[in-house]
């Protein structure tokens, strides 16, 4: 019986120590995230996202997720192309009182292919400013999961925004 009590005590002590470590790591991460969003992730109003990254933007009361790049037809570095091409990023946005909506933002406007660099949602205009890395001659398949985008969010001036009443 005495052995069981000692083993039980050691188990509880070990679990308590693990829980304390988790709390310390969580606090460090969340305070680091806040700092990153305000300093390193923002440059002249541009908000940067890594592929698959989700951020809650407090000033807009909105969740923004960079889902990925569905198409990247940009001309690779060192290659002569007839058309410069475009990258098409999928960004999911969701306000605190709205359902999620996926915006397809292109690196350049090209209405003939239905590519638009900006899209409106919930009274805000989302504009794709940057897509990195630029494709190399090996192709874009090697870039899957490694993309990073920069977007800006400004008040929408378009009265035809279907998400506003």
Mean pLDDT by 10 residues, the chain (165 residues): 64 52 36 34 79 94 93 83 88 94 94 92 94 75 78 80 52
The pLDDT value given to residue 77: 80
List all residues 6 or more positions away from 103 whose beta carbon is below 8 Å from its beta carbon. 90, 91, 92, 93, 119, 121, 126
List all residues 6 or more positions away from 152 whose beta carbon is below 8 Å from its beta carbon. 45, 46, 47, 126, 127, 129
The pLDDT value given to residue 134: 80
What residue segments make up the domains of the chain, in order of their start?
Answer: 1-40, 45-155
């Amino acid at each position: 019986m005495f052995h069981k009590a000692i083993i039980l005590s050691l188990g509880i002590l070990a679990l308590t120590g693990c829980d304390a470590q988790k709390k310390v790591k969580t606090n460090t991460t969340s305070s680091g995230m806040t700092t990153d969003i305000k300093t390193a992730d923002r440059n002249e109003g541009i908000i940067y996202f890594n592929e698959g990254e989700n951020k809650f933007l407090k000033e807009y009361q909105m969740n923004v997720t960079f889902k990925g790049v569905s198409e990247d037809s940009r001309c690779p570095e060192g290659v002569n192309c007839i058309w410069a091409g475009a990258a098409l990023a999928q960004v999911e946005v969701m306000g605190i009182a709205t359902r999620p909506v996926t915006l397809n933002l292109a690196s350049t406007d090209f209405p003939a292919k239905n590519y638009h660099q900006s899209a409106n949602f919930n009274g805000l205009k989302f504009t794709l400013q940057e897509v990195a890395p630029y494709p190399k001659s090996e192709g874009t398949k090697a870039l899957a999961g490694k993309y990073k985008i920069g977007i800006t969010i400004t008040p929408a001036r378009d009265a035809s925004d279907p998400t506003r009443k």
